[in-house]
């Protein structure tokens, strides 16, 4: 449930720490437009990205793919399709260091003070459409 605040356009929701990746991406999903399964898989990738910094520059390496297959139950073939989709949507981008794929930092939550994540959303309104 959401808490009412005195600020306009500000919603606050309490979540368990273990669901941070999913809840963060779920909050963004109105913009990124993923299915529930795609959202679950991307959240699992985000969990690994946060938990294992050594893989941040190559989030689609074979070690990560194996872990995703084991933890999410996705097949290797479908995982490849999802990764291709995430690249097309700009959710996975080329790493500056190795040229491998990494998560777009816009979808990585920044935890403030160990207990808060803030999202700023900008919707640009086109006046001539």
Beta carbons within 8 Å of 45's beta carbon, 6+ residues apart:
59, 64, 68, 86, 103
Query: Global pTM?
Result: 0.82
What confidence tens digit (pLDDT) does each residue in 92-122 have?
A: 999 877 778 999 988 998 888 888 887 777 7
What confidence tens digit (pLDDT) does each residue in 55-79 have?
A: 888 888 899 999 999 999 999 999 9
Q: Look at the alpha carbons of 101, 56, 123, 13 in this order and tell me if their dihedral is positive or negative.
A: positive
* pLDDT band (50, 70, 90) for residue 88: very high
């Amino acid at each position: 449930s959401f808490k009412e605040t005195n600020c306009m356009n500000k919603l606050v929701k309490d979540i368990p720490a273990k669901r941070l990746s999913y809840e963060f991406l779920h909050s963004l999903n109105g913009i990124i437009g993923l299915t529930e399964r795609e959202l679950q898989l991307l959240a699992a990738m985000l969990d690994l990205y946060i938990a294992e910094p050594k893989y941040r520059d190559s989030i689609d390496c074979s070690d990560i793919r194996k872990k995703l297959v084991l933890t999410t139950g996705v097949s290797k073939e479908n995982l490849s399709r999802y990764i291709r989709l995430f690249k097309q949507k700009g959710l996975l981008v080329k790493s500056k260091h190795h040229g491998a794929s990494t998560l777009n930092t816009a979808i990585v939550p920044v935890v403030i003070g160990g207990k808060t994540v803030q999202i700023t959303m900008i919707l640009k309104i086109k006046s001539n459409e």
